[in-house]
Amino acid sequence: MKLFYREVEEFTERDELGVDLLRKRLLGGAAVILIFFSLIIIRLWSLQIHNGDEYKKFAYSNRVRIQEVAPPRGHILDRKGREIITNRPSFNVVMMREDSHDIEDVLKRLSPILKVDISELWQQIRDASSTPRYLPITLKEDIDWETLAYLENHNQNFSGIRIEVQPVRVYNYKDLAANSLGYLGIISKKELEKSDREIYSGTDLIGKSGIERLREADLRGGKGQRFTEVDARGFERNQLKRLDPLPGREIHLTIDVDLQQIAEGLMAEGEKAGAVVAMEVKTGRLLTLVSSPPIHLDEFIGGISYKNWNALRDNIRNPLLNKVVQAAYPPGSTYKMITALAGLALGVIDKDTVMYCPGYYAFGNRTYRCWKHSGHGAVDLKRALGESCDVYFYQVGQWVGVDALAEFAKKFGLGQRTGVELEHEKAGLVPTKDWKRKRYNQKWHEGETLSVAIGQGYNLTTPLQINVMTAAMANNGKRMKPQVVEKVIDPDGKVIEQLEPIVEYDYEVNPWHMQLVREGMVEVVHGKKGTARKLAIDGLKMAGKTGTAQVVKVSRYRGLRDDEIPYKYRDHAWFTAFAPADDPEIAVTVLVEHGLHGGSGAGPIAKALFEEYFREKLEKLKADESEKVQ
């Protein structure tokens, strides 16, 4: 009996163990199932709720293509509202690599249509290999209408190929003021890294030089967007909506197209190199900004070729320089007005001071020659300026000293940047004793002052500085800041910026001293022996100064005819003037590189500008005189 109960107890214990094991297994299985479904629920919550908006955007982007629409760049106009630079649409062929299923096949069939060698197309793809695949790669810019129509009608045959519309510049007056207005180019990697990525992307055009670069923020406008539905192969099906771009602002310049064209045309005759500047005396408005020879703006559309760039770079007349502000030359005899004012202000000369010019001046162990080898004889200040007697100003400079000359030169804007809104302006150079000691660790020699007094030696000035100096002479010592932007207008027609004349420096010059210098400048043009007497205009009283700036020592080519001197060794020609002399309105400065003589090389260009600017006044005067005769 005991054995029986023992067996029953053992059986019961085994049964309870089996139930416990089964219960544990059921609980374990339930836990696994619960964990599994929990993970699914958590994942679904993450996908649909926590990150739902993000994945919704991904799904939307697979169905909808969002394209940036380039804005029309702001127009650039002259002072009278004439459009100098506008826009037109350029149709560019681009590839979206993420939408192209067989790039090799597409390029092979696209090459003959675009008339571009397939190796060049592949090079474009390779150059963009480090950029994201969703960014477009431009294969060809500005295709013709026939090519555009073919690609639009057969777009299903070219996966990943799209047509993008990009506004490009139209130069209504060709290369007018090209070096000052500048050009556009595709944004570089370095520029892109420094830019606002919300504004610029890798294929955008930006201003590379001139006003186009300096006024980029005004001109660029704001991009629009185009939302297009695409299929699984990346082909566009329907346009869903469009956000129009915001056009750039209009820039109205102070430049006068008529004056600019006349000056550029005259500089182009004989392929002259140099600069022409005209400015309103009382306001600082720049009416002409000519740098010759100019760059050709059409060559920069779509990127300039290496061949054309090398041709510009190697040209001995330096078309890449904006010579208005980026090239500095000895001022020659235009500097004599500074020497005269300094002499008068310091009392070393007066109206009646007379010096004798035998054609040379002996100082120390050297002889300094006058441009007129036979000499001018006895000359006073008026005649010395009118006939540009070197001997007279050698002595004035010697009595004044180089440091005093520098002081007066700087008061009239020489040796310092004018602050004009043009790129890379040079400061020029007005030498002093301290400058030479610091620059060369040498003592200043008094003989060097004589060269400085007639605008030679270490003196260096830009054409704009000479123009500013001339305008200050006309404005009784008041130096205006030269300005090139008249006003800026936003797309709604609102004027958001307007030119206001700025007095940069007001030198309280003795009116009598200024009157004496002006009389000498009038003598230059209207005197019987004035160096610019052939430039006189009937009915217009002008005050001017010629200048010849030596490139090499005169002795090297003495006795040779002008045409026998190599071009690069010929003297530079200056002419600067203002008119009317009694109530000045504009100042004009002309610099012709290696033009030899100011009166003949540079003067006629200035004369043509004065005749155009005062054309109505001169015509009326002529008509009145005709009526009197009748």
- How many C-beta atoms lie closer than 10 Å to residue 296's C-beta? 16
- Band (56; pLDDT cuts 50, 70, 90): low
Of 219, 249, 247, 284, the C-alpha closest to 496 is 249
- Is the same domain home to 212 and 269? no
pLDDT digits (tens, 9 = 90+) for 280-328: 999 999 999 999 999 998 888 767 778 888 888 888 899 999 999 999 9
In a domain, 4, yes or no: no
| Alpha helices (runs of H) in 115-245, residue ranges in sequence order | 118-127, 145-153, 178-181, 189-194, 210-214, 216-219
* 458: in domain: yes
Judge if 209 and 115 occupy the same domain.
Answer: yes
User: Is 119 among the domain residues?
Assistant: yes
Q: Which two tokens stand for residue 382?
A: 């008026």
Among 29-43, 319-333, 450-464, the least confident range = 29-43
Same domain, 613 and 473: yes
At residue 54 the predicted structure's pLDDT band, cuts being 50, 70 and 90, is: low
Residues 509 and 529 in one domain: yes
Residue 329 lies in a domain: yes
Query: 328 lies in a domain?
Result: yes
**In 3-state terms, what secondary structure has residue 275?**
strand
Residues 525 and 616 in one domain: yes
C-beta separation of 159 from 101 below 8 A: yes
**Would 60 be classed as within a structural domain?**
no
Q: Which structural domain, as residue segments, surrounds residue 125?
A: 67-253
3-state secondary structure of 325: coil
Angle (deg, nearest 10), helices 390-400 and 446-453: 130
> Of the ranges 124-133, 232-241, 389-398, which is most confident?
389-398
Instruction: Choose the final residue of a domain: 203, 234, 253.
Output: 253
Its pTM stands at 0.84
Please list the residues that pair with 460 across neighbouring strands: 429
Token duo for residue 401:
């000293």
Whole-angstrom Cα distance, residue 210 to residue 217? 13
Specify the DSSP element, H or E, that contains 188: none
- Same domain? For 282 and 412 the reply is yes
Distance, CA of 302 to CA of 452 (rounded, Å): 47
Which of 189-198, 306-315, 316-325, 450-459 bottoms out in mean pLDDT, i.e. has the lowest? 189-198
| Domain harbouring 289, CATH code | 3.40.710.10
pLDDT digits (tens, 9 = 90+) for 71-86: 889 999 999 999 999 9
Residues whose CB is less than 8 angstroms from the CB of residue 262 and which lie 6 or more positions away in sequence, other chains included: 608, 609, 612
Q: How many domains does the chain have?
A: 2
Write out the H or E segment, with its range, that includes residue 351: none
Task: Judge if the upstream peptide bond of residue 319 is cis by omega within 30 degrees of 0.
Answer: no
CA distance 71 to 62: 26
Catalytic residue numbers, as ranges = 333
Q: Which of the residue ranges 35-39, 156-160, 182-186, 391-395 has the most confident prediction, judged by mean pLDDT?
A: 391-395
How many angstroms separate the CA atoms of 116 and 92, rounded?
14
Pairing of strands 250-253, 76-77: parallel
| Mean residue pLDDT across the chain | 87
Number of other residues whose CB lies within 10 A of the CB of residue 225:
13
Question: Which tokens hold the place of 63?
Answer: 């169905």
Are 271 and 236 found together in one domain? Answer: no
Here the tokens at position 486 are 């008249």
Domain shared by 249 and 261, yes or no: no
The confidence score (pLDDT) of residue 60 equals: 46
Q: If you average pLDDT over residues 445-458, what whole number do you get?
A: 94
11 in a structural domain: no
Domain stops at, among 212, 235, 253: 253
Same domain, 83 and 232: yes
- Exposure on the CB side of residue 6, measured as CA atoms within 13 A: 3
Residue 23 lies in a domain: no
239 in the same domain as 365: no
Domain boundary among 253, 279, 302: 253
Give me the count of residues in the chain.
630
Q: What is the CATH number of the domain that holds 125?
A: 3.90.1310.10
DSSP H or E stretch at residue 184? strand 184-186
pLDDT tens profile 218-242: 999 888 877 766 665 555 566 677 7
pLDDT tens profile 420-437: 999 999 999 999 999 999
Please tell me which residue, 122 or 444, carries the higher pLDDT value.
444
β-strands 366-369, 377-379 pairing: unpaired
